[in-house]
Chain A
Amino acid sequence: MRKIWVIAVREYLAAVRTKTFVIGLLMMPILMGGSALLQYLFKDMVDVRDKNFVVVDRIGNKGLTDSILQFMDVHNKTLTVDVSTGKQTKPRLVVLAEEPAGTSQDEIDRQRFQLSERVRKGELVGFLEILQNSKSPNQVKLRYQTNRPTFMEFPIIAETTAAEFLRKKTAEKLNIPSESIQALSKPTSLENKGLTNRDEATGAITDSPDQSRFASIIVPMVAMIFMFMLVLMGATPLMQGVVEEKTARIAEVLLGSARPFEIMMGKLLGMVAVTLTVSAVYLSGAIWAAQRFEVAEYITVDFVLWFILFQSLAALMFGSLFIAIGAACTEMRETQNLMWPVMLLACLPMFLIGTVIRDPHGPVVRGFSFFPFATPSLMIGRISAPPGLPLWEPLLAVALVLVTTVFCVYCAGRIFRVGILLQGKGANLKEMFRWVIRG
């Protein structure tokens, strides 16, 4: 036991006392939230050049066209400029009306082609046509053509403006006050709430605080990705270390002082300690951030404890597999051939991440969450997704993972014992299997 401790301490210090570790610690939030971070950093760098559009009224409703043009004018003056500084914050949507070229299909097509050419040249972003809706005579059809289908601000505003105008006109015609029209067009509103609780002590019945999408999406997703990255970040250097020790003949010196199993366990425990250190840093950061942004109730003590437990088991399980790979290889290049099955197992929860968010307790996710290699990540995703799980499920999963971990460590030990002195050519999966069986 003492030797395992001595080796574990050495491995731990060797890992954390490096620049790579500290940089990696800082890089992880950037890697995970990279795009969000970039967007935040660059949010002020918006393209504020004018965006030009054309409106063609083919139904002769001048009032409708004018309402769109007027609204755009107001929009440009008030919503695209910072009134205090006069600085342009968003691009202006500059709209001009164009007369329809004619009523025949040929003339219409030709006008559409000319306008399309102007879009291709970059003079316009798109053009809107106001048409008769032949299927539904009471509705107006708006037809928008563009080669930038992701920029929908103009057609959406135009549609809303047109709808509002037409509603008002109908109300006037039918002599209905405009408030009634509002009630007609949007008669319902939706409130999302949690469940109602009864306080055991006082008997008081209260509503839960409002549900936040944060809990059901962000926390499980971040937790799962974090677990995945932690395991990979810890296990890969472990494998590299074993290969290096073999090539540098350190393995031989170590074997002169400790048994192969002691060496392997020391390395594994050192690695688990490294991942726990990283976890501690990030969990503290997350808890601090959660408190600052007042979403602290989503990171409970239970969740933290489960996370630490599953993460340690994942580290042991995958760590032992990576050690086995390192022991079977004589140079780093060879590890790539053997790594793919383990990587596949590690990535499995990531393939299911969408399903975990959408349906955390559905049969697919539930089933896979008992598959030991996917358990740590999937279970933590399920635990953090409301409404949580009955206790027996994670407990059973832990038991299965423990058994699997012991099995993996045992097999890795047998592979390590033979492989660590291997020189020359690396072993393939078949040979490794033989080592496990026959030793």
Chain B
Amino acid sequence: MITDAVIADRVTKRFGQHVAVNELSLRVPAGVIYGFIGPNGSGKTTTLRMVMRILHPDDGSIQVLGEYHHGAANDRVGYLPEERGLYKTMKVRDLLRFYAALKGSRDSDALIASWLERMGLSDWAMKKVETLSKGMAQKVQFIAAIIAKPELVLLDEPFSGLDPVNAVVLREAILDLKNGGTTVIFSTHDMNVAEKMCDFLFMIHKGVKVLDGTLQSIQEQYGLDTVKVRWDGNGELDRWPGVVKVTDFGQYKELRLERGGDTQKLLQELAARGRVTHFEVAHPTLHDIFVRIAGAAETTHH
């Protein structure tokens, strides 16, 4: 019984002079939803491709489902690439049969039919891929990735191009996979989704790990230093002592306090100078943490 689906040990990948991934180490436990977050160009896709054995690391090693090299284990890994990878002139059902057969899955017709129905695509089984809309194609791509019942699934930006309704369908499918024992790694730059769905998060920036752990453990690193406030008073809050940063969202403001800042004192000050209709003490959101890290890294870089 494998405890870890993926173990990467100081993996480096270069493209010419550019270092896409730099001494990256990570551990993905089996049966979890693992979020890979980071901006474009951070090395997410390169890392996923190395896990898929499409690319090979220049240094370090990656163990996937217990194997160090491309082998039988590859058939137990499903992959949804960032861009659509479907044969335009093939019929949906034939395409899914093809991808299933490639992974060694026989007699996949019943499973194909049930997934198509679940995704609302039963009527499109005999239609050519080129007749599908972007969202439908994405769903077909997803089915192709999981049709051979893989133990590990890599989804690169699975929600891109999906409207809210389809996003819900996909989300539920991913949760079902996890409940069925499949390990799911998905990469996204939508922090909202990552926060809600992932058991573990791994943030990558310029090819380097910057965060690794559960949402809770990550947030605890920063403490309760965010205050959401709705206040009708005047004043430049960012000049107040103890306030590091103010983000104005129109309806409310988000204040970041210094470490160890006194939230009660802040409340009193605000109440003294105006009406407070909302005051919430919270952990920073993942988005906020990300911006802090990416911003800081930019500053250090310059």
> Closest Cβ of chain B: how far from A423's Cβ, in Å?
11
A288–B88 alpha-carbon span in the complex (Å): 39
B88 touches A248 (CB 8 A): yes
B55 touches A421 (CB 8 A): yes
Asked whether any CB of chain B lies closer than 8 Å to the CB of A438, the reply is: no
A10–B99 alpha-carbon span in the complex (Å): 10
Asked whether any CB of chain A lies closer than 8 Å to the CB of B86, the reply is: yes
Please name all residues of chain B whose beta carbon is closer than 8 Å to the beta carbon of A250 when the two chains form the complex.
85-87
> Closest Cβ of chain B: how far from A158's Cβ, in Å?
65
Given A249-B81, A252-B81, are A14 and B52 neighbors across the interface (CB < 8 Å)?
Answer: no
A2 touches B88 (CB 8 A): no
The 3 lowest CB-CB distance pairs between A and B, nearest first, are: A253-B85, A256-B79, A249-B83
> Closest Cβ of chain A: how far from B289's Cβ, in Å?
31
Residues of A within 8 A of B (CB): 2-3, 6-7, 10, 14, 18, 248-259, 421
Please name all residues of chain A whose beta carbon is closer than 8 Å to the beta carbon of B86 when the two chains form the complex.
248, 250, 253
B52 touches A256 (CB 8 A): yes
A256 touches B87 (CB 8 A): no
Q: Tell which of B74, B81, B102 touches A7, judged by Cβ atoms closer than 8 Å.
A: B102
A–B Cβ pairs within 8 angstroms, 19 of them: A3-B102, A6-B98, A6-B101, A14-B87, A248-B84, A248-B88, A249-B83, A249-B84, A251-B85, A252-B49, A253-B85, A253-B144, A254-B85, A255-B54, A256-B52, A256-B54, A256-B81, A257-B79, A259-B70
> Closest Cβ of chain B: how far from A351's Cβ, in Å?
37
Q: Tell which of A14, A252, A257 touches B74, judged by Cβ atoms closer than 8 Å.
A: A257
Asked whether any CB of chain A lies closer than 8 Å to the CB of B197, the reply is: no
Please name all residues of chain B whose beta carbon is closer than 8 Å to the beta carbon of A421 when the two chains form the complex.
54-55
B55 touches A6 (CB 8 A): no
A14–B95 alpha-carbon span in the complex (Å): 11
A18–B84 alpha-carbon span in the complex (Å): 23
A2–B79 alpha-carbon span in the complex (Å): 20
A249 touches B85 (CB 8 A): yes
Convert B88-127 into 0s and 1s, putting 1 for each residue whose CB lies closer than 8 angstroms to a CB of A: 1110000000110111100000000000000000000000
A3, A6, A256 — which one has the most chain B CB atoms within 10 A of its CB? Answer: A256
Asked whether any CB of chain A lies closer than 8 Å to the CB of B201, the reply is: no
Please name all residues of chain B whose beta carbon is closer than 8 Å to the beta carbon of A18 when the two chains form the complex.
89
Interface residues of A, dominant DSSP: helix
| A266: nearest chain-B partner, CB-CB | B102
A248 touches B98 (CB 8 A): no
B84 touches A2 (CB 8 A): no
B54 touches A252 (CB 8 A): yes
Q: Tell which of A249, A251, A252, A258 touches B102, judged by Cβ atoms closer than 8 Å.
A: A258
Please name all residues of chain B whose beta carbon is closer than 8 Å to the beta carbon of A6 when the two chains form the complex.
98, 101-102
Please name all residues of chain A whose beta carbon is closer than 8 Å to the beta carbon of B84 when the two chains form the complex.
248-249
Please name all residues of chain A whose beta carbon is closer than 8 Å to the beta carbon of B90 when the two chains form the complex.
14
A14 touches B102 (CB 8 A): no
For the complex with contacts A7-B102, A257-B74, 4 further pairs of A-B residues with Cβ separation under 8 Å are A253-B99, A254-B102, A257-B75, A257-B79
Please name all residues of chain A whose beta carbon is closer than 8 Å to the beta carbon of B104 when the two chains form the complex.
2
> Closest Cβ of chain A: how far from B248's Cβ, in Å?
40
Within 8 A of A (CB), among B134-174: 144
Please name all residues of chain B whose beta carbon is closer than 8 Å to the beta carbon of A14 when the two chains form the complex.
87, 89-90
Asked whether any CB of chain A lies closer than 8 Å to the CB of B21, the reply is: no
Within 8 A of A (CB), among B63-87: 70, 74-75, 77, 79, 81, 83-87
A252 touches B85 (CB 8 A): yes
> Closest Cβ of chain B: how far from A291's Cβ, in Å?
39
> Closest Cβ of chain A: how far from B150's Cβ, in Å?
10
Given A3-B102, A253-B99, are A248 and B74 neighbors across the interface (CB < 8 Å)?
Answer: no
> Closest Cβ of chain B: how far from A282's Cβ, in Å?
26
A49–B52 alpha-carbon span in the complex (Å): 78
A14–B86 alpha-carbon span in the complex (Å): 13
Please name all residues of chain A whose beta carbon is closer than 8 Å to the beta carbon of B101 when the two chains form the complex.
6
Q: Tell which of B70, B85, B102 touches A248, judged by Cβ atoms closer than 8 Å.
A: B85
B52 touches A255 (CB 8 A): yes
Please name all residues of chain B whose beta carbon is closer than 8 Å to the beta carbon of A2 when the two chains form the complex.
104
A6, A7, A14, A421 — which one has the most chain B CB atoms within 10 A of its CB? Answer: A6
B88 touches A253 (CB 8 A): no
> Closest Cβ of chain B: how far from A421's Cβ, in Å?
7
Please name all residues of chain B whose beta carbon is closer than 8 Å to the beta carbon of A255 when the two chains form the complex.
52, 54
A257 touches B99 (CB 8 A): yes
> Closest Cβ of chain B: how far from A261's Cβ, in Å?
11
B77 touches A256 (CB 8 A): yes
> Closest Cβ of chain B: how far from A281's Cβ, in Å?
23
A191–B159 alpha-carbon span in the complex (Å): 83
| B99: nearest chain-A partner, CB-CB | A257
A2–B89 alpha-carbon span in the complex (Å): 23
| B148: nearest chain-A partner, CB-CB | A257
A259–B89 alpha-carbon span in the complex (Å): 23
A14–B84 alpha-carbon span in the complex (Å): 19
A1–B144 alpha-carbon span in the complex (Å): 21
Please name all residues of chain B whose beta carbon is closer than 8 Å to the beta carbon of A251 when the two chains form the complex.
85
A6–B79 alpha-carbon span in the complex (Å): 18
| A256: nearest chain-B partner, CB-CB | B79
Please name all residues of chain B whose beta carbon is closer than 8 Å to the beta carbon of A249 when the two chains form the complex.
81, 83-85
Convert B44-63 into 0s and 1s, putting 1 for each residue whose CB lies closer than 8 angstroms to a CB of A: 00000100101100000000
A130–B117 alpha-carbon span in the complex (Å): 94
B55 touches A253 (CB 8 A): no
